Structure 1
């Protein structure tokens, strides 16, 4: 889960999220809300993402500012759960 959080939050292409689905939702002003363990246990889900799924949450009052921040300064808005996983990854990673 820590590696998944880092991949979605920390891995970038030209400053934007490397994952195309994450990039889509973040451009539209969402918050990277929650990473769910074994949420997709179909063969395709296991092969594509080890069964993990991500919830992106849209707070209507914040979508415009979140989108502007992401597109302008490449800042990703994320929940405490996601940021905690990212922090844990950074503490334990040799990358």
Structure 2
């Protein structure tokens, strides 16, 4: 999973914030935000990030070098299923 968009709008900056700081995409929450605004902006999907002290620097380097988001095995399994 990579972020190829180099946009400067708020959504693009937010999408890069956690991976750029070394967090791992830990979980995808379907219907995590069922407010009208949440459904309208992200179809209700929310994610959790994990800041694992032992992996922060390596995760940051992967993102900085490859613009690739480091993911948990569970998120990888979701991506492989589709």
Q: State TM-score, norm by structure 2.
A: 0.79
Shift of the 45–84 alpha-carbon distance from structure 1 to 2, 3 Å rule, reads: same
Q: Aligned to 1:40, which of 23, 33, 43? A: 33
How far apart, in 1, do the equivalents of 2:61 and 2:53 lie? 14
Shift of the 71–23 alpha-carbon distance from structure 1 to 2, 3 Å rule, reads: same
| Structure with greater proportional helix content | 1
Gaps spanning 5+ residues in structure 1: where? 1-8, 90-95
How far apart, in 2, do the equivalents of 1:10 and 1:84 lie? 16
How far apart, in 2, do the equivalents of 1:10 and 1:87 lie? 15
Shift of the 19–84 alpha-carbon distance from structure 1 to 2, 3 Å rule, reads: farther
Secondary structure of 1:55 counterpart: strand
How far apart, in 2, do the equivalents of 1:87 and 1:20 lie? 27
Q: How much is the aligned-residue C-alpha RMSD, in angstroms?
A: 2.0
Aligned to 2:4: 12
User: How many residues were matched structurally?
Assistant: 78
Shift of the 79–68 alpha-carbon distance from structure 1 to 2, 3 Å rule, reads: same
Q: State TM-score, norm by structure 1.
A: 0.70
